[in-house]
Amino acid sequence: MPDTISEAPVVWFEDVRREDVALVGGKNASLGEMVRSLGDRGVRVPPGFATVAGAYWRFLEANSLNEVIKNRLAEFKSGKASLAETGNAIRSAFLKGDWPGDLASAIAEAYHKLCERIGEKDADVAVRSSATAEDLPDASFAGQQETFLNIRGEDELLAACRKCFASLFTDRAISYREAKGFDHLKVALSIGVQQMVRSDLAGSGVMFTIDTETGFDRIVLINAAWGLGETVVQGQVDPDEYQAYKPLLANGGLKPVLRKKRGDKIIKMVYARGGERATRTVPTSLAEREAFVLGDEEILQLARWACEIERHYGVPMDIEWAKDGHSGEIFVVQARPETVQSHAQTGVFKSYGIKSKGRTLATGLSIGGAIVSGRVCLIRDPGEIGRFEDGSVLVTENTDPDWVPIMKRAAAVVTDHGGRTSHAAIVSRELGLPAVVGTGNATRVLHDEQEVTVSCAEGEEGFIYEGVADFDVEELSVSDIPATKTQIMLNLANPAAAFRWWRLPADGVGLARMEFVVSNHVKIHPMALAHFDALKDEDVKRQIDELTRGYEKKADYFVDQLALGLARIAAALHPKPVIVRMSDFKTNEYAGLIGGAAFEPKEANPMIGFRGASRYYSPRYRDGFALECRAIHRLRDEMGFENVVAMIPFCRSVKEADRVLEVMAQNGLKRGENGLQVYVMCEIPSNVILAQAFAERFDGFSIGSNDLTQLTLGVDRDSEDLADLFDEQDAAVKWMIRNVIAEAHKAGAKVGLCGQAPSDHPEFARFLVECGIDSISVTPDSFISVKHHVAEAERKRGGQARNEDKNK
Catalytic residue list: 423, 754
Nearest to 371 by CA among 445, 459, 490: 459
3-state secondary structure of 731: helix
**618 burial level (CB within 10 Å; 0-12, 13-18, 19+):** middle
The torsion region of residue 364 among left (phi > 0), alpha (psi -120 to 50) and beta comes to: beta
Task: Please give the torsion angle defined by the CA atoms of residues 604, 606, 610 and 612, in that order, rounded to the nearest 10 degrees.
Answer: -170
Strand order across the 147-152 sheet: 10-12, 48-51, 189-195, 124-131, 147-152
Degrees, nearest 5: CA angle 30-31-35: 115
Largest distance between two CA atoms of the chain: 99
Task: Please give the torsion angle defined by the CA atoms of residues 369, 375, 379 and 385, in that order, rounded to the nearest 10 degrees.
Answer: -100
User: Is 319 in contact with 208 (CB distance < 8 Å)?
Assistant: yes
In DSSP notation, 137-175 reads TTB----SS-EEEEEESHHHHHHHHHHHHHGGG-HHHHH
Angle between helices 101-118 and 53-62 (to 10 degrees): 140
Count, residues in the chain: 808
Question: Rounded to whole angstroms, how far apart are CA atoms 742 and 250?
Answer: 42
Question: Rounded to whole angstroms, how far apart are CA atoms 202 and 323?
Answer: 6
Task: Please give the torsion angle defined by the CA atoms of residues 719, 721, 727 and 730, in that order, rounded to the nearest 10 degrees.
Answer: -120
3-state secondary structure of 633: helix
DSSP code, position 462? E
Integer CA distances (angstroms), 30 to 38, 145, 732, in order: 11, 16, 67
In DSSP notation, 282-343 reads EEPPHHHHHS-SS-HHHHHHHHHHHHHHHHHHTS-EEEEEEE-TTT--EEEEEEEE--SGGG
Question: Rounded to whole angstroms, how far apart are CA atoms 464 and 457?
Answer: 12
User: Is 170 in contact with 290 (CB distance < 8 Å)?
Assistant: no
Nearest to 366 by CA among 499, 504, 463: 463
Angle between helices 21-37 and 53-62 (to 10 degrees): 140
Number of H helices, E strands in the chain: 28, 30
Task: Please give the torsion angle defined by the CA atoms of residues 321, 326, 329 and 332, in that order, rounded to the nearest 10 degrees.
Answer: -20
- Integer-rounded Cα Rg, in Å, for the chain is 30
Nearest to 560 by CA among 528, 584, 529: 529
What spatial distance separates the first Cα and last Cα of the chain, rounded to whole Å?
92
User: Is 386 in contact with 205 (CB distance < 8 Å)?
Assistant: no
User: Is 464 in contact with 414 (CB distance < 8 Å)?
Assistant: yes
Q: Where are the alpha helices (DSSP H) in 432-525?
A: 442-445, 514-517
Nearest to 643 by CA among 180, 245, 177: 245
Nearest to 570 by CA among 162, 243, 226: 243
